Structures are given as structure tokens and as C-alpha cells.
Amino acid sequence: MALHIHPSILAADFANLERELQRIGEADLVHVDVMDNHFVPNLTLGLPVVERLAEVSPLPLDLHLMIDDPDRWAPDYAAAGAASVTFHAEAARDAVATARAIRARGVRAGLALKPASSADQWLPLLDEFDLLLVMTVEPGFGGQEFMAETMPKLAQLADAAAREGRDLRLQVDGGISPRTIGIAAENGANSFVAGSSIFGSADPGATIRELRDAAQR
Ligand code: DX5
Ligand code: ZN
């Protein structure tokens, strides 16, 4: 599986999102963090903004739903023009049904796990998902420190996917920088979300290249 770099627009200028999208042309997808101030103690944007972003973004959208009741909302986000919709295992009532509803709209379905959430119960269900997101910080805010203690869970998922011959996207999100991306890649990640390290850079394109190089080393 090729490596994918996903800048997170959580760290972008929210008053100029269309312009910010032009700064990350070297990336593969753009990561959009949807927060509802219930599942996480922060609030960002919702469906109408995602629909417009899908219309103006040169890159496909990778949605990360940090919301309660994803069973209700994920299908609408899938229909909004995203390439992938990832929701949290901790918030879903029926994660398999929700993933199927996303896939039924021709969109990749992702399951996210908070740092303390075990992967064990999902190992027999990997076929139901296209992407597994191992959170490497507590969801809710950008600019936090990478949690290396999540790496055994990532390796566990990578091993399980390899055993089954699954071409799963294994994503990490939180604290990813040229310094930390190598550790995540070594443990099996192939999809990397980075907010502050990319949008905080004077040259986001150069940082995206640096991240790619560091992940491949
Ligand atoms: C955090 C979000 C992340 C966030 C990452 O809850 O899911 O996508 O933007 O930000 P950085 O890369 O700054 O840790
Ligand atoms: Zn995210």
C-alpha cells in the first residue's frame, strides 16, 4: 500500500479554507475533523461546510467524525462528497452497520480508536472496514504530543491485516511530524494525518515531502 499524507485543516486558517487548500497540493487527501462538542470537548464544522469543501477541494476529502451518534450522521457525510468517512468505535452503536451504510454510498469506511481503546474486538471484523485510525493523541485538539504507547495496537492491527492479506489503510492522527512519523511507519501505518506540522510550516509543500521521506526511510 502506498503511503498517504493527509494534512488536517484543523490547523488551517478557518476564515480562508479555500486558499489554505491551495497550499497542500503535494498531499494525497485532505483530513477534515468534524467535532460536535459532545464526543470531544471542541466544536469545528458540520455538513454544510463539508459539502462546500468537497466542491472546492482539489484533493479528495478524508473525514474524521468525532461526534456522537455516527450511526445517524455518517451516511450523510458519505453522501456529501467525501472519499472516506471515519467514525469512532466508542461512539457507534452498530459500527458494522454504519460502515456498510458508508460503503453503500461508494465511500471508504474507517473506524477510529481512541488511545485507550483496545483493537481486540475489531480483529475478526477487519473486512468490514477500509481504514483503521489509531489515534496517537486524545481526540479533540491539534498540537498535542504523539503518544508512542499506542504503537503496539497499531502493530497488532498491521499484523492482522497482513495475515489476512488485506490492503487496509492504517492511519495515525495526532502529533505526527518529521520526528515521529518514522515510528508510526515502522509499526505499520501507511496513512498519516498531520495538522500543525504542515500548516504551521512556512513551506507546507516542503514539509509534506519531508514527512514522506521520513516515513519511507
Ligand atoms: C485531533 C484531530 C487531528 C488534529 C491533529 O483530534 O483528530 O486530526 O488535527 O493535529 P496535530 O497534527 O497538530 O496533532
Ligand atoms: Zn483527525
Q: Which residues form the domain of 150?
A: 4-216
Question: Cell for 19?
Answer: 486558499
28-44 mean pLDDT: 98
Query: How many angstroms is it from 8 CA to the middle of ligand 1?
Result: 6
- 71 included as an active-site residue: no
Residue 106's contacts (CB-CB under 8 Å, 6 or more residues apart) are none
Cell of 153: 495496537
Q: Which ligand is nearest to the CA of 195?
A: 1
User: What is the number of domains present in the chain?
Assistant: 1
pLDDT tens column, 153-210: 999 999 999 999 998 999 999 999 999 999 999 999 999 999 999 999 999 999 999 9
Reply yes or no on whether 173 is catalytic.
yes
**63 pLDDT exceeds 80?**
yes
Residue 1 has pLDDT above 90, yes or no: no
Q: For the domain that residue 33 is a member of, what is the CATH number? A: 3.20.20.70
Let me know if 50 is exposed, middle or buried by CB neighbors in 10 A (0-12, 13-18, 19+).
buried
The pLDDT assigned to 40 comes to 98
CB 65 within 8 A of CB 45: no
DSSP secondary structure letter of residue 43: B
ipTM for the complex shown? 0.99
Question: Choosing from 33, 36, 62, 130, which is the catalytic residue?
Answer: 33
Ligand minimally distant from the alpha carbon of residue 196? 1
* 3-23 burial code (b ≥16 CB/10 A, e <16): ebbbbbbbbbeeeebeebbeb
pTM above 0.90, yes or no: yes
Spell out which residues line ligand 1, taking CB within 6 angstroms. Answer: 8, 10-11, 31, 33, 64, 137, 139-144, 173-176, 193-197
Residue pair 66/173 in contact (Cβ under 8 Å)? The answer is: no
